[in-house]
Every structure is written in structure tokens, then in C-alpha cells.
Amino acid sequence: MKCMFCREIKLSEEMYAENVCISCTMKMGNQEVIVAAADVLHAELDSTGIDAESATITPEPQGEYPYLITWKKYAVFKGRAARAEFFAFVLINMLIELLLNQLRIRPLAILFWVASVTPFIAVAVRRLHDSGLSGWWSLIPTGYFVGGVLYGLDNFSFNHLSGKIGGALGLISMIVWFWLMLRRGHPGPNKYGPNPYEADA
């Protein structure tokens, strides 16, 4: 593949997008690359007689807070999410829930939790995509809940086998889950889309 800016032949893993390499993207910045790529595309279309106005490049919002991005992509399970987006959503939501419970506004706390479930699952799936994994890995936390049930059946103790298995299953599933969420994203585009934040990867 040849980069439209540096004109060098690059491997697929060295390309940020179809016609732009990661090196040029890092030097110019994502927004500048999008604008420059649009100019190049329009110039090429003009030379072929195709109406350039019919071909548009829509950039992703730049400079937005990661937490707000997650809410804007409320039920978007496609694409990728950087670590900052996932952990900002988790930590800020935990603080909001804690505040609402401390203020004893339980109905609002419950409504907020219900509203947060879908975007949480969506951002977790995109976070897995960022490191090249299938979204089905997001089912790992179910091991925590299964473990909790087994632990509860043992009267919340480790006196019997069910309690020991439940505790171990819950602990292991959460360790694996956080490890997956902490993994660095793929440095370039992968089959799930372009790297959301090259600097974060």
C-alpha cells in the first residue's frame, strides 16, 4: 500500500487508513490528515470530471471528553474504544452512583444505573475490538455473577465446595476482565476499524 502523503510503500499494519500511513498521521494529527486527504481526494475527482461535492469525508469529533463519547455512542457496538473512554465511563459513573446513594436519592440512582447498562456493554465491546478481540469476550463478567450465586448458596461463606468454587470463579473472571480492558489497543487499523486515539495506543 502507498501512502498518499509520503508516497512510501507500507505494510498493511503500518497504515492508519486505506491511503494514509501511521507515520504521516502522527506527524500531521488526525484532523489535519482528514482535511488534507479530503483536498487530495477532491483534486483527484476534479481531474476525472467527477463532482467533488458528492464525495465527502466525515471526521470523527475531535477533542471531546471520553466520557461524553460513550454516551453519544449509546448503543454502538461496532468500532473501537480507547482505554480512556472505557475507564472514564466506569469511574465517573461509579462516582455518580456513590453520590446519588449518599444523598439517598435511590430512585434516581436506580434509573441512572439502568440507563448506563447499554452504553457500558457497548463501550466494553468496542474496548475489546480495540485490541483485536471479539465482543463475545464481554461475557466473561457473567462468571462473576455465577460465582456470586454459588457463594450465596453457601450462605456467603467458604465452608462448602459451592462457596469455594463461587469465590474462585468470581475472582478469576474479574481479574481476566480487567486485564482485557487494560490491554493496549492495536497500533494501527484492525478488522474492527481505525485506532480511535493513536496517542493512547
- Cα 52 to Cα 40, 41, 48, 56: the distances in Å are 11, 8, 10, 8
Rounded Cα distance, 196 and 130, in Å: 8
> Crossing angle of helices 83-102/161-182, nearest 10°?
130
Q: What are phi and psi of 168, to 5 degrees?
A: -65, -45
For residues 52 and 9, the model is more confident at 9
pLDDT tens, position by position, 76-118 = 999 999 999 999 999 999 999 999 989 988 899 999 999 999 9
Which helix (H) or strand (E) segment holds residue 146: the answer is helix 142-153
pTM of the model: 0.61
Work out the widest C-alpha separation in the chain, in whole angstroms.
Answer: 79
b (16+ CB within 10 A) / e for 68-87: ebbeebeeeeebbbbbbbbb
Determine the average pLDDT of the residues in 46-64. 47
pLDDT averaged over the chain?
Answer: 77
- Among residues 169, 115, 120, which one has the least CA distance to residue 142? 169
